């Protein structure tokens, strides 16, 4: 039997990783000039980003870009043939398209991206910083029509309606389903067991409130045993808002929701400044920062509901004790990790590396 051949990365890929890590290290400095400029431009765009959440997102993403995890991810990204990959980036939360961008670069493909008007500066500024360090791989940011015309394959994220449009336009341009990775609307939920700790409630507050409830990893629905005291969570959410204030538009959007709940006499709770809103009822997904509390008497009820809605759910957040009694078919993460995705995580359960190496 021959000796096992360990996989290796090309010198070029190793150099790209070195450049990515170097630029990320620069961006971890909150006083870095390029980062400051990108932040300022981002905060003037028509979005619901806040300064505090923007800083969190940049720091969280940059902290992942170190040699070991980048090399580990890159091993599965080596494409046999170079293609042009068009990436349609959403603008719901800061830096949401960074991992798609890096995945294309590390696979050796050519990147053609289109950024949202809600987040026009972060990805292009980070890309320019890589180019100035000698990246040596072609990157183009352009409008969607040019992206469609140039792309051999397309990665896109957004609403279900937008994805339907992208699919049709891609087909018209000759890009078939096998070369499309489309991610539609998703949401995340949390399942409580009723005995969570104060620390877990603090972490759950972040999972719910960070990025104004606009991300697919934001918890929008909370399952809890009937009669669970939610005061510890409400207190944790109020404390979180003291550090991460809500965006003014978020507060405005909840006023009509609260008025409706009061009109129909539906049980609800809200922060004094209406930075978030809870209502009790059927397990429905409502507007961002309007969290629905659904009560259960038997965890099998929750299992069944999750399995029935698994195509719509991005994440299930729970404690270790609750995870043990949920179905093995349900993928969970711990409290406090919903807004802290790992490098190369599978969005919508679709593996980016498999897609990029298979086109």
Q: Between these two residues, 3 and 339, which has the higher pLDDT value? A: 339
Q: Which residues, 6+ apart, have CB-to-CB distance to 209 below 8 Å?
A: 237, 240, 241, 244, 246, 275, 276, 289
Average pLDDT, the chain: 94
Could you tell me the pLDDT band of residue 5, with boundaries at 50, 70 and 90? very low
Radius of gyration of the chain measured on its C-alpha atoms = 21
Phi, psi of 353 (to 5 degrees): -65, -45
Residue 178: other Cβ atoms inside 10 A? 10
> What is the rounded CA–CA span in Å between residue 248 and residue 117?
19
Any idea what the Cα angle at residue 92 is, between residues 352 and 342, rounded to 5°?
40
Question: pLDDT by residue (tens digit) across 96-106?
Answer: 999 999 999 99
Token pair recorded at residue 109 = 């493909």
Residue 3 pLDDT > 80, yes or no? Answer: no
> What is the rounded CA–CA span in Å between residue 124 and residue 130?
10
> What is the rounded CA–CA span in Å between residue 219 and residue 289?
9
Question: pLDDT by residue (tens digit) across 106-161?
Answer: 999 999 999 999 999 999 999 999 999 999 889 999 999 999 999 999 999 999 99
- 323 closest CA partner among 303, 338, 337: 303
**What 3-state DSSP class applies to 244?**
coil
Any idea what the Cα angle at residue 341 is, between residues 167 and 225, rounded to 5°?
100
Question: pLDDT by residue (tens digit) across 265-290?
Answer: 888 888 778 889 999 999 999 999 99
Could you tell me the pLDDT band of residue 1, with boundaries at 50, 70 and 90? very low
pLDDT for 7: 65
Residue 5: other Cβ atoms inside 10 A? 6
Question: pLDDT by residue (tens digit) across 66-82?
Answer: 999 999 999 999 999 99
> What is the rounded CA–CA span in Å between residue 344 and residue 160?
23
> What is the rounded CA–CA span in Å between residue 20 and residue 4?
30
**What 3-state DSSP class applies to 170?**
helix
Give the residue-averaged pLDDT of 240-246: 94
Contacts of 256-261 spanning 24+ positions with Cβ under 8 A? 257/286, 257/287, 257/290
Give the residue-averaged pLDDT of 308-326: 93
Alpha-carbon separation of residue 265 from 201, 269, 291, 310 (angstroms): 27, 12, 17, 31
Question: pLDDT by residue (tens digit) across 33-91?
Answer: 999 999 999 999 999 999 999 999 999 999 999 999 999 999 999 999 999 999 999 99
Residue 242 pLDDT > 70, yes or no? Answer: yes
- 97 closest CA partner among 183, 169, 35, 29: 183
Could you tell me the domains of the chain? 11-185 (3.40.605.10), 187-333 (3.40.309.10)
Could you tell me the pLDDT band of residue 4, with boundaries at 50, 70 and 90? very low
Question: pLDDT by residue (tens digit) across 175-185?
Answer: 999 999 999 99
């Amino acid at each position: 039997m021959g000796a096992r051949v360990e996989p290796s990365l090309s010198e070029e890929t190793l150099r790209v990783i070195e450049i990515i890590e170097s630029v990320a290290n620069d961006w971890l400095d909150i006083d870095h000039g390029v980062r400051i400029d990108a932040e300022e431009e981002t905060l003037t765009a028509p979005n619901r980003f806040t300064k505090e959440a923007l800083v969190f997102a940049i720091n969280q993403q940059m902290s992942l870009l170190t040699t070991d995890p980048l090399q580990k991810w890159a091993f599965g990204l080596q494409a046999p043939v170079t293609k042009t990959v068009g990436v349609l980036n959403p603008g719901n939360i800061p830096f949401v398209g960074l991992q798609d961008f890096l995945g294309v670069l590390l696979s050796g493909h050519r990147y053609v991206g289109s950024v949202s008007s809600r987040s026009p500066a972060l990805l292009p500024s980070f890309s320019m910083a890589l180019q100035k360090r000698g990246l040596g791989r072609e990157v183009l940011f352009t409008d969607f029509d040019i992206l469609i015309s140039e792309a051999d394959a397309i990665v896109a994220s957004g609403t279900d309606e937008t994805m339907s449009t992208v699919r049709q336009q891609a087909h018209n341009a000759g890009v078939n389903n096998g070369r499309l990775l489309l991610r539609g609307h998703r949401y995340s939920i949390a399942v409580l067991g009723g005995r969570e700790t104060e620390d877990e409630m603090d972490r759950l507050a972040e999972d719910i409130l960070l990025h104004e409830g606009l991300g697919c990893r934001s918890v929008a629905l909370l399952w809890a045993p009937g009669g669970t005291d939610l005061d510890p969570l409400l207190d944790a959410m109020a404390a979180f808002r003291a550090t991460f204030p809500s965006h003014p538009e978020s507060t405005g959007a909840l006023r009509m929701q609260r008025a409706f709940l009061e009109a129909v006499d539906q049980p609800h709770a809200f922060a004094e400044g209406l930075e978030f809103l809870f209502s009790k009822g059927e397990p429905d997904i409502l507007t961002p920062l309007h969290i629905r509390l659904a009560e259960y008497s038997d965890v099998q009820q929750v299992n069944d509901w999750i399995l029935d809605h698994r195509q719509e759910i991005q994440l299930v957040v729970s404690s270790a004790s609750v995870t043990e009694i949920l179905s093995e078919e349900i993928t969970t993460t711990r409290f406090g990790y919903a807004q802290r995705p790992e490098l190369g995580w599978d969005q919508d359960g679709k593996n980016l590396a498999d897609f990029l190496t298979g086109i």
